[in-house]
Amino acid sequence: MRTAYSVETVRAAERELMARLPEGTLMRRAAAGLAASCAGLLRRVYGARIVLLVGPGDNGGDALYAGARLARRGAGVTAVPMDPGRMHPGGLAALLGAGGRVASAVPGRADLVVDGLLGIGGRGGLRPAAAALVERIPPGAVVVAADLPSGVDADTGEVVGAAVRADVTVTFGAYKPGLLIDPGASRAGAVRLVDIGLTLPAPDAQALQHADVAGLLPEPGAASDKYRRGVVGIVAGSARYPGAAVLAVAGALRGGAGAVRYVGPAAVGEAVLARYPETLIGRGRVQAWVVGPGLGDERRAQVLEDPVPVLVDADGLRGLDPQALRARTAPTLLTPHAGEAAALLGVGREEVEAGRLASVRALAQRYGATVLLKGSTTLVCDGTAPVRVNPTGTPWLATAGSGDVLSGLAGSLLAAGLSGPDAASVAAYLHGLAARRAASGAPLHAHEVAEALPAAWRDVRTP
């Protein structure tokens, strides 16, 4: 499990540790880790041209101390301050003492640039002086961000205006949520964690890895039969959109439930059966429902009355009543994309896109449900536990019908007994992995994602 911590939490842990250690110990640890990563990225440290972009705070201090270490190994190190009057004094003395120099402009050529402009003390978008330095980063240089790419909000991943685009981010003490959540995540490149000895409480965000997902996958035992493994009911599709039902069933059949039941118009049921003859047709007991696309209100209301877990997606999300959801006794899982989330919150779509973390938290609070917010870095939040950030997926997943496969899959996992947050995050993980496999660099369609799910499932289980 990759865990991430808010700035407030990291600061508190740092204060607690700093009080017990000689002054400067943590910054030395951070700088040593940063310098080691930089050295590993260079073919040769001796003679390498390294540029440090140095901000006014301790993030700049990290860059200066790391630069001093690299200068001692024979690199040519140039520090370019954002504000010449404000540089970490100890770091500056160390760099100059090691033979580094300070320049007022970014050199035209560099092998490696360290972004030490802003760390967890950065607020808002980069101010003009910082943005001007970032614009001058020489093309072809490897960019290494200290702690986080400057301009990325550490707590949320939000980017307002200019931000550094790093190849590698060397982060200190703990991952920050903004390194896992887009748009920040896509600015961070490969993220490396340097342990500086912090003791941390419960995380604010977490990203499942293969082993975590493997531990959550439902496994049939010797005594299992199709009913004990769970039946998932799919209430989706209309004469106009029969495909949504077929795709949701396609996802559900690969999600670990023992059987999939389809409830809907006869013509749609026939389309489902033509593709998947193993589907049960018509009403009956289920362990979880998926209420999805192409629906009228009455069908949704009926399903929400059933005291079993219910996943609500697409058209099913329209005009949802928060009070009605809060009154439910069984778990509810909502799976909106940004547009649907915006409608549920009564805000603009851009607001959701720019503030994905705040939006998913607000939705979970307002509707008393687990919410899976689809998009670049899908988020899952149940209002209490850490937000789950999905690390798999590919931009090719932005294709018609892929959401129907996801809702069928997540519903199937709910029917198999997983909690709302587990079903949602396992489904998002497998779905993203299947899409990567199916796409491998070329366009894909939703059915291929469903067909790649068993391979993704096996991948996850392979140690």
Ligand X SMILES: NC(=O)C1=CN([C@@H]2O[C@H](COP(=O)(O)OP(=O)(O)OC[C@H]3O[C@@H](n4cnc5c(N)ncnc54)[C@H](O)[C@@H]3O)[C@@H](O)[C@H]2O)[C@@H](O)CC1
Selection from K ion, ligand X, none that 145 binds (CB < 5 to 8 A by kind) is K ion
Q: Which two tokens stand for residue 80?
A: 């370019």
Query: Smallest distance, Å, CB 386 to ligand X?
Result: 21
Selection from ligand X, K ion, none that 115 binds (CB < 5 to 8 A by kind) is K ion
H/E stretch holding 194 reads strand 190-194
DSSP codes of every residue in 427-450: HHHHHHHHHHHHHTTS---HHHHH
Selection from ligand X, K ion, none that 336 binds (CB < 5 to 8 A by kind) is none
Nearer to ligand X, 26 or 308 (CB): 26
Burial of 8 (0-12, 13-18, 19+ CB in 10 A): exposed
**Whole-number Å distance between alpha carbons of 115 and 190:** 14
Task: Give CA separation, 24 vs 53, 279, 361, 391, in Å.
Answer: 21, 65, 37, 34
Query: Smallest distance, Å, CB 181 to ligand X?
Result: 17
Query: In this structure, what is the dihedral angle of CA atoms 91, 189, 132, 68, given to the nearest 10 degrees?
Result: 20
* Among the residue ranges 100-108, 117-125, 287-295, 373-381, the one whose residues contact ligand X (CB under 6 A): 117-125
Tell whether residue 432 is among the known ligand binding residues. no
For K ion (CB under 5 A), the number of binding residues is 4
Selection from ligand X, K ion, none that 9 binds (CB < 5 to 8 A by kind) is none
Nearer to ligand X, 104 or 323 (CB): 104
Tell whether residue 62 is among the known ligand binding residues. yes
C-alpha triplet 287, 291, 297: angle, nearest 5°: 130
Tell whether residue 431 is among the known ligand binding residues. no
Query: Smallest distance, Å, CB 176 to ligand X?
Result: 9
Task: Give CA separation, 278 vs 253, 287, 451, in Å.
Answer: 9, 18, 16
Contact string (CB under 6 A) for ligand X, positions 159-198, x = contact: -------------x-----------------------x--
Site for ligand X in 35-74 (CB under 6 A): 55-60, 62
Site for K ion in 110-169 (CB under 5 A): 115, 145-146, 150
Q: Which of 355, 369, 449 is nearest to 402 (CA)?
A: 449
Selection from ligand X, K ion, none that 228 binds (CB < 5 to 8 A by kind) is none
Task: Give CA separation, 60 vs 50, 117, 171, in Å.
Answer: 15, 6, 14
Query: Smallest distance, Å, CB 204 to ligand X?
Result: 16
What single DSSP character describes residue 67?
Answer: H
Query: Smallest distance, Å, CB 365 to ligand X?
Result: 29
Contact 62, 116 (CB under 8 A): yes
* Among the residue ranges 122-130, 185-193, 253-261, 379-387, the one whose residues contact ligand X (CB under 6 A): 122-130
Selection from K ion, ligand X, none that 309 binds (CB < 5 to 8 A by kind) is none
Tell whether residue 97 is among the known ligand binding residues. no
What is the sign, positive or negative, of the torsion defined by CA atoms of 282, 283, 287, 289? Answer: positive
Phi, psi of 272 (to 5 degrees): -65, -45
- 146 part of the interface to ligand X, by CB under 6 A: yes
For the chain, counts of helices (H) and of strands (E): 18, 18
Selection from ligand X, K ion, none that 216 binds (CB < 5 to 8 A by kind) is none
Binding residues for (6S)-NADPHX: 58-62, 119-125, 147, 244, 294, 337, 404
- Residues forming contacts to ligand X in the complex (CB under 6 A) are 14, 18, 26-27, 30, 55-60, 62, 118-124, 126-127, 130, 146-147, 172, 196
- Residues forming contacts to K ion in the complex (CB under 5 A) are 115, 145-146, 150
